[in-house]
Chains A and B, each alone.
Chain A
Amino acid sequence: MAIKYIIKAHKVVKRYHNHTALNKVSIKIPKGSVYGLLGPNGAGKTTFIRLINQISKPDKGEILFYNKPLTEEHIQKIGYLPEERGLYKKMKVGEQAMYLAQLKGMSKVEAKKNLTEWFDKFDILDWWDKKVEDLSKGMAQKIQFIVTVVHEPELLILDEPFSGFDPINTELIKQEILELKKKGTTIIFSTHNMQSVEEICDHITLINQSETIVEGPIEEVKKQFSQNTYVIHFIGNMITFTNALWTGFELLKKEEISKTEYKVTVSPTGQNSINELIQNIIHGCKIKSVYESSAKMHDIFIKAVAQSNEPKNLTKGIKNE
Chain B
Amino acid sequence: MSKLRLVLQREYKTRVKKKSFLLLSVISPLIIAGLVIAPILIQQSTFKQKTVLIVDNTLALGDLLEKNKSSKYIHYVNMPIDATIEHVANRYENSEDTMVLHLNKNFGIISNSPGQLYNNGHPGPGIIKTIKNDCFDLFRKIQVYKITNLNLEEVDKRLGDACNIQYEGLGINPEVKSYLSLAGGLLMYLLVLIYGVQVMKGVLEEKSNRIIEVVLSSIRPVKLMWGKILGIGLVGITQFSFIIISSIVIFSVIQSFLDIDASGLVNDQIMIMDTNGKLVNANIPVLTPEEMDTVYAIESLKAFLPTFLIIMPFLFVGGFLLYASFFAVVGSASNPDTETQQYILPITVPIILSMLIATTIMNNPDSNLVYYSSMFPLTSPIVMASRLPYINWATDWWQVLTAIVLLFGCVLFSTRFAAKVYKTAILMYGQKLSYRNIRKWFKQSGS
* Chain A contact residues, CB within 8 Å of chain B: 16-17, 50, 53-57, 59, 72, 75-76, 78, 80-82, 84-91, 99-100, 102-104, 108, 144, 147-148
Contact = CB atoms under 8 A, between A and B. Distances in A.
B10 interface: yes
A17 B440 contact: yes
B218 interface: yes
B211 interface: yes
B217 A102 contact: no
15 contacts: A16-B444, A50-B213, A50-B427, A53-B217, A55-B427, A57-B447, A81-B214, A82-B213, A86-B210, A86-B211, A86-B214, A90-B14, A100-B215, A103-B215, A103-B218
Interface residues of B, number: 25
B6 A89 contact: no
Contacts of B447: 57, 59
A17 B444 contact: yes
Contacts of B205: 88
Given A82-B214, A85-B211, A144-B214, A103 B440 contact: no
A91 B14 contact: yes
B237 interface: no
Given A50-B427, A85-B210, 17 more contacts: A53-B216, A53-B217, A55-B221, A55-B427, A76-B218, A82-B214, A84-B213, A86-B214, A88-B14, A88-B205, A88-B206, A89-B209, A103-B7, A108-B1, A144-B214, A147-B214, A148-B214
B27 interface: no
B356 interface: no
Nearest to A79: B217
A75 B209 contact: no
Interface centre among A86, A90, A104 (most CB of B within 10 A): A86
B262 interface: no
A87 B209 contact: yes
B294 to A, nearest CB: 43
B444 A103 contact: no
Given A55-B213, A78-B217, A89-B209, A103 B3 contact: yes
Contacts of B214: 80-82, 85-86, 100, 144, 147-148
Contacts of A148: 214
A80 B217 contact: yes
Most chain A CB within a 10 A radius of its CB, from B216, B217, B219, B220: B217
A204 B322 CA distance: 48
Given A55-B427, A90-B14, A91-B14, A103 B211 contact: no
Contacts of A54: 217, 220
Interface in B182-233: 205-206, 209-211, 213-221
A258 B166 CA distance: 116
- In the complex, which of the residues B7, B219, B447 has the most CB atoms of chain A within 10 Å of its own CB atom? B219
Contacts of B7: 103
A14 to B, nearest CB: 11
Contacts of B209: 86-89
B218 A85 contact: no
A104 B440 contact: no
Given A103-B3, A103-B6, A87 B211 contact: yes
Which of A81, A103, A104, A144: most chain B Cβ within 10 A? Answer: A103
Contacts of B429: 84
B435 to A, nearest CB: 15
Contacts of A104: 218
B213 A85 contact: yes
A99 B6 contact: yes
A133 B397 CA distance: 52
B102 to A, nearest CB: 73
A22 B42 CA distance: 75
A93 B429 CA distance: 26
Contacts of A50: 213, 427
A91 B211 CA distance: 12
Contacts of B215: 100, 103
Nearest to B212: A86
Interface in B1-23: 1, 3, 6-7, 10, 14
Contacts of A108: 1
A99 B10 contact: yes
Contact of A102 (B1, B14, B206, B221): B1
Contacts of A84: 210, 213, 429
Contacts of A82: 210, 213-214, 217
A104 B427 CA distance: 20
B144 to A, nearest CB: 72
Contacts of B10: 99
Contacts of B6: 99, 102-103
Nearest to B216: A55
Contacts of A91: 14
Q: 3 smallest A-B Cβ distances: which pairs? A: A86-B210, A86-B209, A103-B218
